[in-house]
Amino acid sequence: MNASRVQDQVIVVTGASKGIGLATARALAARGARVALLARGAAALQEALAGFDPDRALALAVDVSDRAALALAFDAVVARWGRLDGLVNNVGFQFARRIEQMPEDEVRKLVDLNFLCAVFACQLAIAPLRAAGGGRIVNLSSASVRHDNEFAHMALYSAAKAALDQFTNELRGEVKRDGIMVTLFSPGAVATGSVANFDPAALPEAMAAWLEKGPQFDGAVQPDVVGEAIANCFELPPGVAIEFIELRPNVPTPKLLESDWKQEQVAG
């Protein structure tokens, strides 16, 4: 069996304390990468770090929407391992609320976490990737940009991810001459527990609007499935990229909130 191309690569994963980010970090580490896990919560990061080789994993608590703080994190990664070979921009945050009723702080948070933090991370990654002779950037979008049956009342989230789509396309054109390959990765519904972020007062209206589109959706996948698919993007030879990939479940499923179908699984 051939050795993984990921072996000894230095890869930053944002939003890495849980869900898709943690699953991606684990998949990359299993292939021999040295992984920097970035997330806001120090306690959650330290818990996530369990199971990683301490010599090949670095946990950095940072607000990724703060460009100056993020720059210090990238400096720490390069100081630790002397290079950077890849970046996975996984940070994302969802609220379900009608546009008319969304307060300004929610609008700004959705734009910051679903678009601007990825912009900042890409800006900061370009120079060390170029210095290493090239590398890869994977930006996580959302299938909600292209499919209107993912949920309802997600306008600002989907719009911010659509902005990331266009940004990623422009970025690819700018950096491929430096040997930096760029992938736009669009996951469908993933069982990450994000419904816990939603305002319980707004959920019934959003759920009703979703059901108006029909009684079924295409289901949800587990984070480890997505993490493995993201890690696969780093297995390609230099100069070759998966420019766009959309990974979605394809199992017609009755529409329930994640918290509800998990309860059904336990009851069953």
Give catalytic residue positions.
Answer: 157
Q: What is the DSSP string of 34-96?
A: EEEEEES-HHHHHHHTTTS-TTSEEEEE--TT-HHHHHHHHHHHHHHHS---EEEE-------
Q: Using CA atoms, how far apart are residues 47 and 67, in angstroms rounded to an integer? A: 25
Residue closest to 135 by CA, chosen among 61, 91, 81, 54: 81
Structure-token pair, residue 162: 């659509």
Residue matched to tokens 């950077």: 84
Structure-token pair, residue 26: 């684990």
Between helix 155-175 and helix 104-111 the angle, nearest 10°, is 30
Q: Which helix (H) or strand (E) holds 129?
A: helix 117-131
Structure-token pair, residue 22: 């943690």
Q: Using CA atoms, how far apart are residues 122 and 139, in angstroms rounded to an integer? A: 9
The C-alpha angle 194, 33, 47, rounded to 5 degrees, equals 45
The total number of residues written for the chain in this structure: 268
